[in-house]
Amino acid sequence: MKRWWLGVLSHTLNPLTRRLARAGRGPFALVRHVGRKSGRTYETPLILARVPEGFVAELTYGPEVDWFRNVVAAGGCVVVAGGAEHRVDGVTTVDREDGLRAFGFPASVVLRLLRRGEFRLLHAG
């Protein structure tokens, strides 16, 4: 069911949010990553929290999603946020409280209510 839902999102909502992220509008950023099997470049729109070390991502669908697995396999990616490109050179786990704090109010309240707790830091070098 999760795979089906991700497929629906990638063909409906993602094209719109990709355009918004490229334009630097709204809360979205793009994670530009290379497919670990195909070698093809992909752009995945996400809501990321900016922190001094880079960006915090909340893994809504867990660590098995393709964009995350691709970033880990490649050892990095490019984040396009606010119209600027940021090179990511590593990923580390962030504990739940630090992850929630990174998103600030009111997003952290929503994430807490949804019982989200899997966060990763995308180190921007």
Q: What is the pLDDT along the chain (125 residues), one digit of tens a residue?
A: 556 655 655 667 778 888 888 887 778 999 999 999 999 999 999 999 999 999 999 999 899 999 999 999 999 999 999 889 999 999 999 999 999 999 999 999 999 999 999 999 999 98
CA distance 26 to 17: 9
- Report the Cα–Cα distance between both ends of the chain, in Å, rounded: 36
Which pLDDT does position 10 carry in this prediction? 63
Contact 68, 13 (CB under 8 A): no
* pLDDT above 70 coverage of the chain, percent: 90
